[in-house]
Structure 1
Amino acid sequence: MSTTTAAAETEQIPSSRTETDPAPRPREFLGGLPVYGWGRAPAHLRTQTQMASERLKLADEQKPVAYLYIQRHGTFELYDPADAVKMKPLASSVKAKMAQRRTCPTCGKIRKYVVRGKQCTVCRDKARAEQQRREARTCWDCRTVRERRLPTHHRCPDCRRKQLDKRRQDAVAWVEKVTVCPGDGYGAGCSVKLVTKKEARAYQKGQGAERTWWSRAPHWPERCPSCAEAKRLRDAEEHAKRQAEYEEREKKRREAEQREAEERERWAAAALVDSDVLVLDTETTGLDEDARIVELAVLTSRGEILLDTLLNPGVPVPDDAADIHGITTEALAGAPTFSDVLVRLTGLLDGKRCLIYNKWYDVGRLRHELTLHYLDCSAVNATEEEAAAWAREQAAAWLDGMQFEDVMIPYSDWVGDWSEYWGNNRWQPLQGGHRAAGDCRAVLDCLRSMGRKYADEYATASVASGGTDEGTN
């Protein structure tokens, strides 16, 4: 580093000079200490890493005397080795371990660096060079290793002859191909001459002797006039066939979309006049897997409230969730628990069609509450794993006995707000004010919007069958 630079500058001083060189000039000062550039520091100063390599360590409270600045690396502290303390000599066992780490397993020589792997860099370079020399003597086709380096084509004489024979055959076949009309594609070529073989060979030779493929001249005809006309008619027929198939597929697709749209609208109109249809919604402590229900509401298809209650989850309501639905922990004091309303909820949903906006989320929250409920009812002498498995089975059995239907997907498809990013229709937000009963009413509004076209038809059918048409109002 700086020692090598200083020594080099000393050797360049002529012997006739008697005056000494001026002291190194620092580039700046940092904290009152000079900062030297690369190769400009006094020769006797050392960095901490250099002192460690010379078996020196800093004395107690030893301060740096200067700094060394290296571009793109930063500033390093320089110390005076005269103030340092000599390290204790290494033990023989430590030296042996260090030497073992620096010993190459291949050549057995001790290097100045730690040898990682099975070869040092010298052995690795030798092996790579040997592999390159061997590859230069190996035929690319038969992989035979010769005694001498192969020519630039990298093939032995036998393989080279085969290569040249194959190339000549390909050249002859190409000339035959471009000079004769290939025909209309339904049978053999019509054998009409398009260009002369002499012209084809001259154009082929002009593209290079070592080529394995050749291109046609742009002014050569690909077919004779009669075959070109036959190809044009065939291509036009195939295009018309593909166009007809495309139009038929598009017609079927549009008809299927119309049928699906009509089914969605009829499903919504029929749900509004069905006395066995209920709407359920929940408000929770969050969106995570452990979120608890804090409000539950069940309404009929006519908007009558069957259940609308707050639920005490037994855990605090996070502020971010309370900011959305306005239900705080204090408001839930004295409210019933989910277990308290489970019997009533079961009686309301049993044998009914329960419509939910984003069914998967609300059913997941019901599953979590049911699991916790049955976990409290598990056998006392059961293990924790057995109690949890039994609770999950009971929750699954309760949910399997109910009939849940989703409204969000049909309504989003009915709105048709297509997203190129998701490749699907965007889910529409529910404008219910983030309260359980209000969201249930918003679900009914979505059903009314979807089923407006067939509302009168299903209302009339409901009245004729002894039902009511209040759900269409």
Structure 2
Amino acid sequence: MSDVMQNFTNWEDVPENLKTKTQLSKEGLKLAPEQQPVAMKVGGYGPFPLYDKGEAIPKRQSQAQREASLANLQKARDALKCVDCGVRDRLDRNGRCDICRHRHWVNRESLAAQERLSELAAAGNWLIVDTETTGLDDTAQVVQIGIVDATGQVLMRQMVRPDVPISPGAVAVHGLDTVALAGAPTWLEVYNDVSRLLNGRHLLAYNAAFDRRILDQTCWHYGTTVLNAASWTCVMELFAAYVGEWSGYHGGFRWHKLTHALGIMGVDLSDGEYGVHDAGGDAWLTWKLVRSFIEP
């Protein structure tokens, strides 16, 4: 091995790991005990001994430097406090921790739902639809349909005789068994009236996904054209967002029974003749719920 030390005449030729004392100091390093230069930068104002950065050790900070570092660290920690609760945590771009970010989002969703329900309450271009059924599965059919307009007028409260069995659980809910429906028309007999009312209209329902599925299933079963509504809006989901009770288990807002929702809003039901688990009655009660959001 040659003992001749390598010389560099140009700084751009010096390898990245070779530093002068000054350069090491700026990086918070100093020479290790008995550390020797491994090369030289010559020419210019040199020579400058060059040391292997990998052999250098960290400098001990002065008291003033340590205090400044601690102050900067505290400042950085303070900057990471949640703008809402003040807790130090990982923050989003708005400076909120996960809990406050979620709470803020829930509040926004609640206000948006309230605004949407208020818009619906003031509008008059929609109908509310509700169904009672033979069951809950993918063969279930309509046994009663209720339709109410934006003024609260019940346009349809029609029982329908199905051609599939009615589950005991469904009968326990709405009370419509084969005896009660024996004289009712079939879906084929009521379809034209239903489609005339619902096609092209903006429809509201309390659990819209269920009522829409049941109507589609019934149409498919009897070979009639699926109803062609302009849109469907779920009042149940809007009301759940308005209340804002988050269910971590379900990963969404907690749904409320229609009667519970009416109770939350303090709706007076003394002016109605309809009860729950009657398609006309549930549609009318849903209308009452929507109307409770009308601006004074």
TM-score by length of 2: 0.65
2:284 counterpart residue number: 441
Are positions 1:236 and 2:74 aligned together? Answer: yes
SS in 2 for 1:324: helix
From the superposition, tell whether residues 246 and 370 of structure 1 become closer, same or farther in structure 2 (CA, over 3 Å). closer
* Residues 173-322 of structure 1: pairs in structure 2 closer than 5 A: 188-191=27-30, 225-243=63-81, 248-250=94-96, 258-322=107-171
Comparing 225-234 and 295-304, the one that deviates more: 225-234
SS in 1 for 2:173: helix
Are positions 1:348 and 2:197 aligned together? Answer: yes
1:420 counterpart residue number: 248
From the superposition, tell whether residues 423 and 192 of structure 1 become closer, same or farther in structure 2 (CA, over 3 Å). farther
SS in 2 for 1:295: strand
* Residues 93-108 of structure 1: pairs in structure 2 closer than 5 A: none
Larger Rg, first or second structure (1 or 2):
1
Are positions 1:409 and 2:229 aligned together? Answer: no
* CA shift for structure 1 position 261: 3.1
* Among candidates 171, 175, 180, match of residue 331 of structure 1: 180
Output one character per residue of 1:246-301: Cα deviation in whole Å (capped at 9) or x when no partner: 69344987776555433322322232332211100000111111111100000012
Q: Distance in 2 between matches of 1:187 and 1:447?
A: 69
> Are 2:128 and 2:149, in contact at CA under 8 Å, matched by a contact in 1?
yes
SS in 2 for 1:433: coil
SS in 1 for 2:257: coil
1:208 counterpart residue number: none
Superposition RMSD in Å: 3.1
> Are 2:208 and 2:234, in contact at CA under 8 Å, matched by a contact in 1?
yes
Q: Which has the higher strand share?
A: 2
> Are 2:107 and 2:244, in contact at CA under 8 Å, matched by a contact in 1?
no
Q: Distance in 2 between matches of 1:320 and 1:262?
A: 37
* Residues 363-442 of structure 1: pairs in structure 2 closer than 5 A: 363-374=212-223, 394-395=225-226, 398-399=227-228, 401-431=229-259, 433-442=276-285
* Residues 10-89 of structure 1: pairs in structure 2 closer than 5 A: none
* Residues 165-180 of structure 1: pairs in structure 2 closer than 5 A: none
* CA shift for structure 1 position 406: 0.9
For structure 1, list consecutive stretches of 5 or more residues without a partner in the other structure: 1-185, 198-220, 378-393, 457-473
Q: Distance in 2 between matches of 1:314 and 1:415?
A: 40
From the superposition, tell whether residues 227 and 258 of structure 1 become closer, same or farther in structure 2 (CA, over 3 Å). same
* CA shift for structure 1 position 331: 0.6
Q: Distance in 2 between matches of 1:430 and 1:187?
A: 71
Output one character per residue of 1:126-174: Cα deviation in whole Å (capped at 9) or x when no partner: xxxxxxxxxxxxxxxxxxxxxxxxxxxxxxxxxxxxxxxxxxxxxxxxx
* CA shift for structure 1 position 402: 3.3
Q: Distance in 2 between matches of 1:292 and 1:222?
A: 81
TM-score by length of 1: 0.42
Q: Distance in 1 between matches of 2:102 and 2:277?
A: 38
Q: Which has the higher helix share?
A: 1
Residue identity in the other structure for 1:241 = A
Comparing 409-418 and 276-285, the one that deviates more: 409-418
2:206 counterpart residue number: 357
For structure 2, list consecutive stretches of 5 or more residues without a partner in the other structure: 1-24, 35-58, 84-90, 260-274
Comparing 263-272 and 404-413, the one that deviates more: 263-272
* CA shift for structure 1 position 239: 1.9
From the superposition, tell whether residues 366 and 188 of structure 1 become closer, same or farther in structure 2 (CA, over 3 Å). same
Q: Distance in 2 between matches of 1:438 and 1:187?
A: 81
Using CA pairs under 8 Å that are at least 6 residues apart, name the structure with larger relative contact order, 1 or 2.
2
Output one character per residue of 1:184-214: Cα deviation in whole Å (capped at 9) or x when no partner: xx95125399xx99xxxxxxxxxxxxxxxxx
Q: Distance in 1 between matches of 2:64 and 2:114?
A: 59
> Are 2:80 and 2:95, in contact at CA under 8 Å, matched by a contact in 1?
no
Q: Distance in 2 between matches of 1:249 and 1:345?
A: 53
> Are 1:325 and 1:434, in contact at CA under 8 Å, matched by a contact in 2?
yes
Percent identity, please. 27
Residue identity in the other structure for 1:261 = S
SS in 2 for 1:302: coil
Q: Distance in 1 between matches of 2:186 and 2:26?
A: 83
SS in 2 for 1:240: helix
Q: Distance in 2 between matches of 1:283 and 1:442?
A: 14
* CA shift for structure 1 position 344: 1.2
Q: How many residues align?
A: 222
SS in 2 for 1:317: coil
> Are 2:110 and 2:243, in contact at CA under 8 Å, matched by a contact in 1?
no
